[in-house]
Structure 1
Amino acid sequence: MGLMYRRRKKYGPIILNFTENGFSSWSIKIGRWSWNSRAKAHRVDLPGRLSWKQDKSRA
């Protein structure tokens, strides 16, 4: 397994994700809730290391 280049730029609640090939996806995070454009999934951070995720395809 080789090394992967990943970079994140934050502009307030908007997060832009980049890989070695350029722009990858964008996310929005407000408090404990977040949504990612690539996965099209909602995620809620729970206490500790837990989180809850709902895929759009299963909704």
Structure 2
Amino acid sequence: MGLVFRSRKKFGPLILNFTENGYSSWSLKIGRWSWNSRTRAHRVDLPGPMSWKQDKSRSR
């Protein structure tokens, strides 16, 4: 298993995600709720180490 480079830049509620190939995706985080542009998934942070995730279907 090799090393993977990942980086995040935060601008308020907007988060830009980068990998070794450059720009990867963007996320929006407001309070405990977040949304990712690549996976199109909603996520809510729950108390403790758990979170709830709702995937959006990619098949059309």
- After TM superposition, the score normalised by the length of structure 1 is 0.95
Whole-angstrom CA distance in 2 between matches of 1:4 and 1:53: 24
Give the match for residue 18 of structure 1: 18
Q: Which has the higher helix share?
A: 1
Distance 2:54 2:4 in 1: 27
Instruction: Tell me the CA shift for residue 42 of structure 1.
Output: 0.2
**Amino-acid identity (%):** 81
Residue by residue over 1:1-57, the C-alpha shift from the partner in whole angstroms, topping out at 9 and shown as x without a partner, is 100000000000000000000000000000000000001000000000000000011
Q: Find the aligned partners of 2:24 and 2:35 in 1 and give their Cα distance.
A: 14
Q: Distance in 1 between matches of 2:18 and 2:42?
A: 20
Task: For residue 56 of structure 1, give the secondary structure of its aligned residue in structure 2.
Answer: coil
SS in 1 for 2:8: strand
Poorly superposed stretches of 4+, deviation over 6 Å? none
Structure with the bigger percentage of strand: 1
CA RMSD of aligned residues (A): 1.1
TM-score under structure 2 normalisation?
0.94
Q: Which runs of 5+ in 1 are unaligned?
A: none
